[in-house]
């Protein structure tokens, strides 16, 4: 009888765990555009709580602009639900164009378990098109920042 109890316990230990895997949640979205003849850099960092937009021109050290805003949960959810993380991870980075005074675009996304980034992902037209709504929202946030320093609803 003890043998069957031990065998039963041993067989149960071979079963896959019923604990669900830890769900990946996006924690930070970073978009940047950098390079060019004068060393331009523009960065947008978005978290659940805040949006930070900065611009820098290397040719003019006194020309640094940083704007910070409070983000809303509604805006955050709208943004992170505008694309599939699995689609983002399929995008292949393109070639850098900085060596010919061009600007590169980088999107870096961090989750609670990992991170991934793409540089000039727009060159991968097939996969990049799958996140077009997300890209349009990022563009809208940047445009709104240029218009005003007030907290904007981009949803």
- Note the pLDDT tens digit of each residue in 67-77: 999 999 999 99
Q: Which two tokens stand for residue 140?
A: 């809208």
Cα gap 31→52, rounded to integer Å: 11
Helical pair 73-80 and 132-147, crossing angle rounded to 10 deg: 140
> How far, in Å, CA of 22 to CA of 103, rounded?
37
> Tens of pLDDT along 18-43?
444 568 899 999 999 998 877 889 99
Q: Is the pLDDT of residue 136 over 70?
A: yes
User: What per-residue confidence (pLDDT) applies to 97?
Assistant: 92
Query: What average pLDDT does the segment 79-107 reach?
Result: 93
Query: Is the confidence at residue 92, as pLDDT, over 80?
Result: yes
pLDDT at 21: 58
Full set of structural domains in the chain with CATH: 25-147 (3.30.1560)
Q: What are phi and psi of 150, to 5 degrees?
A: -80, 155
Average confidence score pLDDT of the chain = 83
Closest CA to 29 of 87, 96, 94, 79: 79
18-22, 110-114, 123-127: which range is least confident on average?
18-22
12-21, 35-44, 101-110: which is most confident:
101-110
**Structure token pair of residue 146:** 């240029």
Q: What is the pLDDT of residue 3?
A: 38
C-alpha distances out from residue 79 to 46, 105, 141, Å: 10, 19, 10
């Amino acid at each position: 009888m003890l043998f069957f109890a031990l065998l039963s316990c041993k067989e149960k230990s071979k079963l896959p765990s019923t604990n669900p895997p830890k769900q990946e949640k996006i924690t930070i979205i970073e978009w940047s555009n950098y390079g060019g003849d004068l060393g331009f850099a523009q960065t947008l960092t978005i978290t659940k709580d805040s949006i930070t937009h900065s611009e820098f021109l290397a040719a003019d050290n006194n020309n640094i602009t940083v704007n910070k805003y409070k983000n809303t949960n509604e805006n955050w959810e709208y943004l992170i639900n505008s694309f599939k993380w699995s689609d983002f991870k399929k995008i292949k980075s393109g070639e850098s164009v900085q060596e010919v005074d061009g600007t590169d675009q980088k999107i870096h996304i961090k989750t609670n378990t990992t991170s991934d980034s793409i540089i000039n992902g727009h060159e991968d037209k097939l996969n990049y098109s799958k996140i077009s709504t997300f890209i349009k929202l990022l563009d809208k946030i940047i445009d709104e920042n240029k218009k005003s320093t007030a907290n904007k609803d981009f949803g």
